[in-house]
Amino acid sequence: MPISQDMLVRVIVRDHDKLYTLCWAILRDDNLAEDVLQDICALAVQKREGIANEDHLTGWLRVAARRQALAALRSRSHEPILFDQALLDLLETSWRSWDQRVGDSLREALRYCLGKLDARGRDLMSMRYELGLKSRQIAEQLGCKVETVYMATLRTHAKLRDCVRAKLEAAEQ
């Protein structure tokens, strides 16, 4: 018996951020990643009859996201493929085990920790990940050296990593 339309929608909404992140990691383009994700959702509705249950759908969506993103990247032949197939396979294994352990608590912890950053750290993360600026572009906007941006980014990532780990460990206790 195929998965219900209701379950299909719930899983797509639940996993939207994860699937978008996978598409973005391959494509490095916000708009294209969102377009690919929309195509995958439409395809899932069309292929619903062949999807047996929630676990099957979760895996199908991830494989479809990867394939569609790689196809979109190949169609933009002027840009290099950033990840090879072996690395994507390793990431798939890691993401699957991560999904089983963490769920939404990671996103909540990251939001909390981003809120704990000082204004400069939040601005740096916003420029890098929301605006998609490269370190050189950030340095130009801030009027500093690229090396300064690299170091500030490393320090900010370390703060976020430590904060998220602490928040997740506290939530487990």
The pLDDT of residue 99 is: 61
Residues of the chain with pLDDT under 70: 77-90, 94-104
Check if the beta carbon of residue 65 is closer than 8 Å to that of residue 23. yes
The pLDDT of residue 61 is: 92
The pair phi, psi for residue 82, each rounded to 5°, is -85, -30
The pLDDT of residue 133 is: 85
Indicate yes or no: pTM above 0.85: no
The pLDDT of residue 97 is: 63
Give all domains of the chain, ordered by start, each with its CATH number: 5-101 (1.10.1740.10), 105-172 (1.10.10.10)
Type of residue found at 40: I
Helix/strand/coil for 79: coil
The pLDDT of residue 116 is: 94
Sign of CA dihedral 92, 33, 27, 69: positive
The pLDDT of residue 100 is: 56
Other beta carbons within 10 Å of 149: 23
